[in-house]
Structures are given as structure tokens and as C-alpha cells.
Copies of this chain bind each other. A is one copy, B any other.
Amino acid sequence: MDAETLVTDAARAAKRAQPQLARLYRDRKDTVLLAMADALVARADEITAANALDLAAADASGMAAGLRDRLALDPQRVASIAQQLRDAAALPDPVGEVIRGSVLANGLELREVRVPLGVVGMVYEARPNVTVDAAGLALKSGNAVVLRGGSAALHSNTALIAVLRSVLAEHGLPEDLVVGIDEHGREGVDVLMRARGLVDVLIPRGGAGLIRRVVENSLVPVIETGTGNTHVLVDASADLDQAEAIVLNAKTQRIGVCNALETLLVHRGIAEQALPRLGTALVGAGVTLHADPAAREILATAGVESTEAEPADWDTEYLALDLAVAVVEDLDAALEHIREHSTGHTESILTRDLPSQQRFLAEVDSAVVMANASTRFADGGEFGFGAEIGISTQKLHARGPMGLTELTTGKWIVVGQGHVRP
């Protein structure tokens, strides 16, 4: 059979299986998640053996070291993947929450309750830990999940999914609550994107190219995640000790993530003091500064090296030890720069001036806006969600870090006693 039929059948099987999960209460779901964690640890040999096949193929094809590292599994990593499931089990269950409720003037009882979305499709790149993490969060929130994790992780994902499915079966649940479609390659993604009515939402996680492809081609509703061209504004009144710590943290604490700093804006009124100090610290941490002429001049005077920023730098998510740097005349110019170049993920102002903070927080139209804090805090774990399925940069349904709640929807329940509309 062709990929079209197979992937459609897989999605249909997930849709058919999901109501059985939707009816389970938290205790049953947590029991299954904990059993899955145990099974992953018990079958770690099988999983690492499958992973070795993927790694051999990766080595043969000359996969970049960073990607290979994300792909590789050993017993310790399998244990930490299992821990993600235990963590999911420990989270409160969003399903069943009464979001709103009232008795209408005519006596109708009205409640909006939280229910699972249904079938969640995840499209991501070769990171086997995402396979288990996404499955765990989907199951905990009552959703079936269709997983497409990148051909380079085919053997690893297949082994992981086999373990999860066998635990479902052991607990009397349909295996098709977790379905993998890696073997159908890119064509599988195309079919998934057309599976409107079978799949309730598609969540792409990965590079900008993958996300754009899904957003532009999917007939299934999509939650766009991830691209973070993140800005920090050092305002004229900033505390420079704090600014140095925050800018360094935001840029260098972890570089390959969407909440890392990519563009530093410095208010003209503090540029002469701030830039030499920040520039020295950043360059000392191995950062290449892509600076505009005003910033370059100040940096050069202080003996700090920089390269000339190209227009593209203002729109680049480096995910590397590179940073775009510009001097802005005032808050308005900073807001204008952000309006033009931000991807709507996270921006932070460093200031001691209340009106500046108020304007920045009110006027910057991003999922997360901060004052006097590192952009690295824009994270579901840091926000206390306990887990994160991704960071939404769109405005519909979910905005910012997405936890279990964002994998649910509402349902209106109306109870009458023979009510008719006059």
C-alpha cells in the first residue's frame, strides 16, 4: 500500500482510539505513564541497539556533531527520557477543569469544561527524546498522538514507540493512541498535513524551514513554534551590573535555543558607558559582535572587536555565538526596530525607569515581554508548567510556552429541564 493510504489509516486509527483515553481519569493515565517509564528503562538495550543503527547511518552520511549528539542514546539518556514520563505523571491533569460556569437567567446550567484536543500530530527533527516527551504530554492530556520524528532517527523512534505501544496494550488500551509514521518519510508529512478531520492540530518543532513548510502547506490547524529573533534593550537608565549579567546570560548560557538573545539594542544615552563593558564581556565569552556603525565606533574606541552588521543580521536567529548590536536613539526607535524585526517570541528591557518599562511591556507585541530579566526565562519549565510542548509564536489558541493546558480545548455543556427558546 502507498504512504497516502498507510498514513491516513494510521491517523484514522489514532482518532478511533482516542475516545477510550479521553474517558480515563488521572489515576489510570498516570499508572500507564509510570509503566511506560519502567518499560523504557527495562528495555534500554533494545533501544540503544536500534539507536546504534541510526548512529551508524549518521556517521556514514557525515551528520554534523551537534545533530549527532541530539540523536545519540545511551542507558543514562534512556533513563532521563523515562524520567520525562514520570514528570508528566506528576503534573495535574488539565482535563475536566471547569473553565467557566453559570446558571443563565432562564435556568439553563452552563459550563465550559476542558477536554482533550483529540489527535495531536507532532512533526520534529531527529531527537528521540522528543518522541517520548511528546507522547507522554499528549497521553497525559487525553490526546492520541501521531509522531513524525525525522528519518535519521527511524530505528530509535520505532523502538521507543514499540515500547510505549506494548505498555498501552498491557493496560488494556488501544496501541494506536501512539502512532509513528517515520517510515513514510517526507511523503508521510504531506499526508498528515492533509488529514483534516482526522488530526486536530499539527505542531511542528524544529528548524525554520520545517516550520515554514508545515505552516504553508497544512490543511490541519497548525501551532507555529519556535523561531526566536529575541531582543534585549539596554535602556538609558539601566543598571550596568545587572545589564552585563543579563546580556551574557541571555546570549551564552545556552546558544542553540529559541529564547537565546540574538539582537542587543543599546540606548544612545548609555551607549558610551554600556557598550565597552558589555562588548568586552561578550567577546571574552567568545561572542562575535555584528554591530551597526554607531556601535562599532564606540566598541572600536574601547578596543573591542566587531564586524559590520549586514541588513540580514537584524533578522537572523543565529543560534550561535553571534550577536547583532545596534545603538538606538531612544525608546521609540527601539520599539520601531523590534516591531520591524522581532519574530514575536521574547523581548526584554533593562531599565530603572518606570515609564519606559510600562511602555515597553505594553507596546511590544510578543508572546513574552520582560523587564530586567534574561530572555532565557521564556520557558515552560521556568514558568512552572512542569513540561513544555513548544513555544508558540502565533496568537491563536496558544501564545508563548505551551504546557498540558494548551493540548486541550473547551466544550460547552448545557443542561436544561425541557428548555425551549422563546
* Interface residues of A, Cβ cutoff 8 Å to B: 19, 23, 102, 104, 108, 110, 112, 115, 117-118, 196, 200-201, 215-216, 219, 221-223, 239, 241-242, 245-246, 248-250, 253, 348, 357, 361-363, 365-374, 376-378, 382-384, 394-397, 399-401, 409-421
Q: Report 5 cross-chain contacts, Cβ distance below 8 Å, ordered by A residue.
A: A371-B415, A373-B419, A382-B421, A399-B412, A400-B411
Closest CB in chain B relative to A319 CB, distance in Å = 17
Q: How far is the CA of A47 from the CA of B115 in the complex (A)?
A: 46
Distance (whole angstroms) from the CB of A404 to the closest CB of chain B: 14
Taking a contact as CB atoms under 8 Å apart, the answer to whether A394 and B221 are in contact is: yes
Indicate how many identical chains form the complex: 2
Judge whether B245 and A418 touch: CB under 8 Å. yes
Do B411 and A372 touch (CB < 8 A)? no
State the Cβ distance, A249 to closest chain B Cβ, in Å.
4
Give Cα A108–Cα B362 distance, bound, in whole angstroms.
Answer: 18
Q: How far is the CB of A353 from chain B (nearest CB, A)?
A: 14
Cα-based distance from A223 to B394 in the complex (angstroms):
14
Q: Is the CB of A416 within 8 A of B373?
A: yes
**Contact of A383 with B19 in the complex, beta carbons under 8 Å:** no
A377 to B374, CA, bound (A): 48
Evaluate whether A374 and B118 lie within 8 angstroms (CB atoms) in the complex, with A400-B410, A412-B367 already known: no
Given the contacts A363-B23, A396-B221, A415 and B372 also touching, CB distance less than 8 Å: yes
Query: CB < 8 Å: which of B118, B368, B394, B411 contacts A369?
Result: B411
Q: Is the CB of B420 within 8 A of A245?
A: yes
Chain B residue numbers with a CB within 8 Å of A104 are 382-384
Complex CA–CA separation, A362 to B399 (angstroms): 28
A363 to B115, CA, bound (A): 11
CA distance A393 to B23 in the complex (A): 21
Are B413 and A361 in contact, CB atoms less than 8 angstroms apart? yes
Partner of A420, one of B239, B253, B397: B253
Q: Residues of B contacting A368 with CB < 8 Å?
A: 411-412, 414
Cα–Cα distance between A421 and B249 once the two chains are bound (Å)? 7
What residues of chain B lie closer than 8 Å to A413, measured between beta carbons? 361, 369-370
Please determine whether A371 and B253 come into contact, CB atoms closer than 8 angstroms.
no
Cα-based distance from A196 to B216 in the complex (angstroms): 10
Q: Which of B118, B372, B378, B395 contacts A365 (CB 8 A)?
A: B118
The residue that A396 contacts in the complex, of B112, B396, B416, with Cβ under 8 A, is B396
Say whether, besides A219-B215, A377-B108, A239 and B399 are in contact (CB < 8 Å): no
Residues of B within 8 A of A370 (CB): 413-416
- Partner of A384 from the list B102, B372, B373 (CB cut-off 8 Å) is B102
A417 in contact with B372 given A108-B377, A201-B396, A395-B409 (CB within 8 Å): yes
Asked if B409 and A399 sit within 8 Å, CB to CB, the answer is yes
- Cβ contact within 8 Å between B365 and A19: yes
Chain B residues with Cβ under 8 A from A242's Cβ? 417-418
Known: A221-B221, A249-B420, A409-B396. A414 touches B200 (CB 8 A): no
Residue among A112, A246, A370, A378 with the highest chain B CB neighbour number at 10 A: A370
The distance from the CB of A234 to the nearest CB of chain B, in whole angstroms, is 13
